[in-house]
Structure 1
């Protein structure tokens, strides 16, 4: 502890907060490609269109349970800084695969295969591979970022505050991403006007940006933090699963990430469905909002406001020094569940936009409660924690399948979100209490 107090962690803290921004940006941008790519890649997918659209998020979040353990093993073997650099290289490769999917589809427009009556282009499969690789990079980045922000000793801050500051940067990324996809990548065009060639330049630019970020990181000091990881070759005496508050926390993060992605990635599909039925969701019956000369469709606006609500909530929660993460989590779960119930009752996606505000505190609160008093098990716990993120893979997929089974109707699929909020409330009130400590 003495050595840790002598190190100034402000610069590493700022660096990881910036990286957290990119994690949020890429996660949401990936989900926002569902609608456009559904129109471009899946126009001939028939009744399986919604199911295949949600596979984009499925591929991304499949990486979390498969690579979380790799990330924690790298932290033990190579340390925090080298692990971050390796993750960024993987990220650049994944973005290159995204670019390749566009190039392949443009050059071979008739290259496809059949699943039942659905016609699926091979370019879509390449895009799914890219989604997995970028998701793997995001996983390893978070295996480093979460415990580092929790443990680094920055003056006048507490662990949950530092996570919420990082979460605020993450939310800035998630808020900007829908506008980036709709306004920059696709130029504000309607779904019917989108062309796959439009994504090529955007991914090349992103690759260049992350190459620059990687170069900067190689020249920065990012000291390891003692007491948060096992030394190379050290064998831990206990299984990390023996800590019940961590095990139940992994389940809590499963439901949290699942319901967060359900709303963030599928609210636009829900709104598009209702628009086709003649619903007018914006003031004065407008179908789009013009910002800076670009028309943004209301579905994209709803997604942006949802993620923007998370940003506002995290900015507020980062100043709540005297309210415990357990209390914040319980309050958020109750009101997120009630807002979702209102969306179902009134068949109106605007109530789902509100849910983002209450989801804002959940990641930081659940992670802080899950790694409480874990000591040298913390970095391993961070890798295990990523297994729970598989909820972002499964729940949106189930929701898409549910919507297809209901004839393309999304209204009743939001029951999945309510179930998730109920478990999160249980974890806040009961499951998060520490029964066994490693300290």
Structure 2
């Protein structure tokens, strides 16, 4: 499960880091909306969580944890194949769609967006299996949030390396965005697709024990309604919406912020993204040893500190404070998940599917931030106030929302 968390982190971060190369390669004719169209790449990826979250939870109940992961890996390989086809289409054809007199988009860009959605669908299936399994499995001397943080160390390791992989390995450390060639993604993506398919074969042959009492035998619709009545889960879904949204806003849009507002080179802003994800890695590593600190205390203290750090970044217009927020973000996922699923028993898997719907925040908040930036003339400076709002909601969930019990019919 920890290895699967590394795959999830790597693919999610790679998708985010493609924003700037896609903007350079595909969006020359996007008018004044280049930031918004670039961020649609993230929107397409996280949209799959909303569309397929409940479906993936039902798949776990019907086919088990192992086959859900296998299905996710196969879908992931399909999404990577679409990335390859997009690049080939851009090289060998000149198909465009006119949206207005000043905005036109290549068809290959739309294929890339579809590939992003399919990759997100595969990750959704993997998440629906990995997260409840890490919470439900019994490892002596560890808490649920601690096990989540241990998995998060693997996740953050690959998330930290992904920006460097995209900028240095795929695009060869090019600083001049005009020199980026989209065909450079083809060979690395072919290799990555092969690795994913090999992983799916290995997982299929592994023995992954089922954990009794973690799935529900009820009718799917009845079970979903039952879970949705639990106020703590509903509010937890919104908390995850905010968490993934603010995490991606910084991890992905710090690159656009550095380029647009601070006129930094591509290699420099890619390094900023790497440092942010690296801070999350350090935080999760430390968090994996914090078995005596309650989930609630972790969440309220880190969200409050994050809001303060982002406010300082807005006042000083310095990205270093945003990088430091990664230390705080590192433990929020596990804390929210653990608080929302606490004592749910057989409803845990279904509740996990409901919570995954909240990951649509990773699609909406970065897109809204980039839309605001375009409306403000391409500047991201004051758009970070949107991120502060997300941090404050998570603070509310830690102090109040996570304390609600079940709401009876």
* Alpha-carbon shift at residue 20 of structure 1 (Å): 0.5
Q: Deviations over 1:219-273 (max 9, x none)?
A: 1100111111113768649610111111111010111111111111100100011
CA distance in 1, matches of 2:35, 2:67: 39
Q: Choose which of 193, 196, 214 in structure 2 pairs with 1:210.
A: 196
Q: Deviations over 1:367-423 (max 9, x none)?
A: 000001111110000100011101111111100110000000110000110000110
Superposition TM-score, scaled by structure 1 size: 0.90
Superposition TM-score, scaled by structure 2 size: 0.96
CA distance in 2, matches of 1:215, 1:434: 42
SS in 2 for 1:321: coil
Which residue pairs with 1:141 in the alignment?
126
Q: Choose which of 89, 93, 105 in structure 1 pairs with 2:90.
A: 105
Which residue pairs with 1:243 in the alignment?
230
Which residue pairs with 2:239 in the alignment?
252
Which residue pairs with 2:10 in the alignment?
25
Instruction: Give RMSD over aligned pairs.
Output: 1.5
Which residue pairs with 2:355 in the alignment?
385
Alignment partner of 1:119 is 2:74: no
Q: 1:153 to 1:437 in 2, by over 3 A?
A: farther
Which residue pairs with 1:35 in the alignment?
20
Q: Deviations over 1:341-386 (max 9, x none)?
A: 0111011111111111110011000000000111111000010001
What does 1:55-74 correspond to in 2, within 5 Å? 55-74=40-59
Which residue pairs with 1:328 in the alignment?
298
CA distance in 2, matches of 1:237, 1:182: 42
Check conservation: 2:279, 2:327, Cα contact below 8 A.
Answer: yes
CA distance in 2, matches of 1:114, 1:233: 46
CA distance in 2, matches of 1:258, 1:35: 19
Which residue pairs with 2:366 in the alignment?
396
CA distance in 2, matches of 1:238, 1:419: 29
What does 1:35-434 correspond to in 2, within 5 Å? 35-108=20-93, 110-116=94-100, 117-190=102-175, 191-231=177-217, 236=223, 239-276=226-263, 297-434=267-404
Q: 1:273 to 1:376 in 2, by over 3 A?
A: same
CA distance in 2, matches of 1:203, 1:179: 15
Check conservation: 2:261, 2:380, Cα contact below 8 A.
Answer: no
Mean alpha-carbon deviation: is it higher for 360-369 or for 110-119? 110-119
CA distance in 2, matches of 1:127, 1:316: 37
CA distance in 1, matches of 2:184, 2:8: 22
Q: 1:368 to 1:437 in 2, by over 3 A?
A: farther
CA distance in 2, matches of 1:193, 1:46: 20
CA distance in 2, matches of 1:314, 1:434: 27
CA distance in 1, matches of 2:72, 2:159: 20
* Alpha-carbon shift at residue 186 of structure 1 (Å): 0.5
CA distance in 1, matches of 2:223, 2:103: 50
CA distance in 1, matches of 2:372, 2:160: 27
Check conservation: 1:374, 1:437, Cα contact below 8 A.
Answer: no
The number of residues matched between the two structures is 405
CA distance in 2, matches of 1:344, 1:219: 51
* Alpha-carbon shift at residue 82 of structure 1 (Å): 1.1
Check conservation: 1:152, 1:225, Cα contact below 8 A.
Answer: yes
Q: What runs of 5+ residues in structure 1 fail to find an aligned partner?
A: 1-15, 280-286, 288-295
Q: Deviations over 1:92-148 (max 9, x none)?
A: 11111111101111111x211122211211110000000000001101100000000
CA distance in 1, matches of 2:89, 2:210: 42
SS in 2 for 1:113: strand
